[in-house]
Amino acid sequence: MSDETDIEALRKAYVSEVTEIRKARPKARTPKQVIGARSPELSQDDLEALLVDAETFESAMRMLLDILADQTSTPDLQLTALERLGAATFQPVRFAPFHAEYIERLRELALSPDKDVRHMALDRLTLENDEVGQQLLREGLEGTRKPLLPAATAARFLARDEHGDAAPLFRELAQSSTGRVREEALRALAADPESVELLASISSDKSERTAVRELAAMSLKAQSPTRFADVARGLVLDDDEDDHLRTTALSAVAFTPEAAAAVDDPDFRAGLDRVKDATTSRSLKTSIDRFAQARPDEPEK
């Protein structure tokens, strides 16, 4: 038998095997049958079949939006539709005709009884900087409505809009809340120029947890490198301060040119020499050496 005959025999055997496998599968409903079915009868396989058989991008988007609009759709189908629509938004020109309806569907699903659907809807709304989604999260954090998401998640989503009006709420949370909610608020305040002194105060407060002070200090650095330099100077030269915090502060100064220039003078250099001789922290000694390497020239007197 020739090689060509062998290859042809293998091909026929493969085609026969694939044909038998396909025959054994349940017969899929046609797109027309699926469209006519109510959502509770619509399976994940049906939805995939719809999307594969959709003749155009536009028809696929229409199907997905109809699933979101159908109140009988299961949460699993809604989540799948949201995922596919979210991916489609990365084609903004093609998706533009559907964008307004997409936002409207997200606003409705933000109030869904299903927590996963709510989470995804509010996630997408805040990525779009949607005012309605932001207001829903803000009201939950303020206590004027039942929270739609865990407080820390709501704060993280709300903080995505750096130009929004949630800064007063974040300042309040930074002072009155605890745990992850407070941490998210402190991160958000890195974009708020009115929070500089609050962040400086928390960074310098020895009664606060080191992790909280470090987070406040990094947000302060992002907002005002020169004010951060003032705070960092006090932290680094204070022998009663936490060594980890001193190390973090000095490292941040060394790699922030504006802060390094603001803090670097003969008194600070002399203070670093004293700290290096006195401390037993290897990480702090290393940080001092790195600062010296980053600022090799003697500062002007």
pLDDT (tens digit per residue) in 217-265:
999 999 999 999 999 999 999 999 999 999 999 999 999 999 999 998 9
Percent of the residues in the chain that have a pLDDT greater than 70, as a whole number: 80
Assess whether 85 and 22 both reside in one domain: yes
Whether pLDDT at 187 is above 70: yes
Residue 126 lies inside a defined structural domain of this protein:
yes
Question: Is 167 within a domain?
Answer: no
Lowest-pLDDT range of 50-54, 169-173, 253-257: 50-54
In terms of domains, do 148 and 274 share one?
no
Q: Give the span between the Cα atoms of 121 and 195, in whole angstroms.
A: 30
In a domain, 90, yes or no: yes
Confidence of residue 49 (pLDDT cuts 50, 70, 90): low
Residues 152, 198: one domain?
Answer: no
Claim to verify: residue 131 and residue 230 sit in the same structural domain: no
Whether the pLDDT of residue 37 is over 50: the answer is no
Q: Are residues 82 and 140 located together in one domain of the fold?
A: yes
User: Looking at 112, 144, 160, which one is the last position of a domain?
Assistant: 160
Domain that holds residue 65: 16-160
pLDDT range class, residue 5, cuts 50, 70, 90: low
Q: 50: number of CA atoms within 13 Å, CB side?
A: 27
Q: Classify residue 229: in a domain, yes or no.
A: yes
Whether residue 145 is found in the same domain as residue 212: no
- For residue 301, is pLDDT > 50? no
pLDDT band at 104 (very low <50, low <70, confident <90, very high): very high
- Residues 90-102: what's their mean pLDDT? 94
- Do both 217 and 84 map to the same domain? no
Indicate the average pLDDT of the chain. 86
Convert the pLDDT of each residue in 63-93 to its tens digit: 899 999 988 888 999 999 999 999 999 999 9
The residue among 34 and 189 whose pLDDT is bigger is 189
Asked if residues 252 and 218 have their Cβ atoms less than 8 Å apart, the reply is yes
Q: How many domains does the chain have?
A: 2
Is the pLDDT reported for residue 158 higher than 80?
yes
Both 201 and 156 in one domain: the answer is: no
**179 belongs to a structural domain:** no
Which pLDDT does position 59 carry in this prediction?
85
What is the structure's pLDDT at 125?
97
Q: Are residues 32 and 89 in the same domain?
A: yes
Does residue 175 carry a pLDDT above 80? yes
List pLDDT tens digits, range 9-23. 666 666 676 566 555
In a domain, 2, yes or no: no
Whether residues 148 and 219 fall in one domain = no
Residue where a domain stops, chosen among 112, 137, 160: 160
Angle between helices 151-158 and 179-188 (to 10 degrees): 10
Encoded tokens for 110: 């933000």
Q: Domain boundary residue among 160, 186, 217?
A: 160
Give the per-residue pLDDT at 75: 92
The pLDDT assigned to 86 comes to 94
Q: Would 148 be classed as within a structural domain?
A: yes
Please tell me the distance from the alpha carbon of residue 61 to that of residue 43, in angstroms, as a whole number.
18
Nearest-CA neighbor of 124 among 140, 139, 109?
109
39 pLDDT more than 90 = no
Any domain includes 168? no
Read off the pLDDT band of 214 (50, 70, 90): very high
| Tens digit of each residue's pLDDT (9 = 90 or more) over 123-136 | 999 999 999 999 99
201 and 147 part of one domain: no
For residues 27 and 110, membership in a common domain is answered with yes
HSE-up of 67 (CA within 13 Å, CB side)?
A: 30
Q: What pTM was estimated for this model as a whole?
A: 0.76
